[in-house]
Chain A
Amino acid sequence: MNGWTTTATVALAGGLGATLWGAATGPLHRRAVAQNLASAVTAPALLLLAQGYGRPAYVDLALVLALLGPVGTLVFARLLAGELADGGQSPGGRGPTLAVAAYGALVVVVLCAVTGPSRAMVKLLVVGVLLVAGNLIASKALSGGFGTAGASAGKNAGQERESNGRG
Chain B
Amino acid sequence: MTVFPYLVAAYVFLAGCYGLATSRHLIHAVGCLSVCQAATYVLLLAVGYRDGGTAPVFSDIEPGSRPVVDPVVQALTLTDVVVGATVTALLLALVIQVVKRHGTADPDELRELRG
Q: B residues within 8 A CB of A53?
A: 54
Q: Are the CB atoms of A57 and B54 closer together than 8 Å?
A: no
Q: Which of B55, B59, B60, B61 has the most CB of A within 10 A?
A: B60
Interface of chain A, main secondary structure: helix
Q: Are the CB atoms of A56 and B54 closer together than 8 Å?
A: no
A55 to B58, CA, bound (A): 10
1/0 per position for A54-80, CB-CB distance to B under 8 A? 111110000000000000000000000
Interface residues on chain B, number (Cβ under 8 Å): 6
A142 to B55, CA, bound (A): 37
1/0 per position for B46-67, CB-CB distance to A under 8 A? 0000000011010111000000
Q: How far is the CB of B85 from chain A (nearest CB, A)?
A: 13
Which residues in chain A, 28-67, are within 8 Å of chain B measured between CB atoms? 53-58
A58 to B57, CA, bound (A): 10
A54 to B65, CA, bound (A): 12
Which 7 residue pairs of A and B lie closest in terms of their CB atoms, listed nearest first? A57-B60, A56-B60, A57-B59, A57-B57, A55-B60, A53-B54, A55-B54
Interface residues of B (CB under 8 A from A): 54-55, 57, 59-61
In the complex, besides A55-B55, A56-B60, A57-B60, 8 extra interface pairs with C-beta distance below 8 angstroms are A53-B54, A54-B61, A55-B54, A55-B57, A55-B60, A55-B61, A57-B55, A58-B55
Interface residues of A (CB under 8 A from B): 53-58
Between A and B, 13 residue pairs with Cβ closer than 8 Å are A53-B54, A54-B61, A55-B54, A55-B55, A55-B57, A55-B60, A55-B61, A56-B60, A57-B55, A57-B57, A57-B59, A57-B60, A58-B55
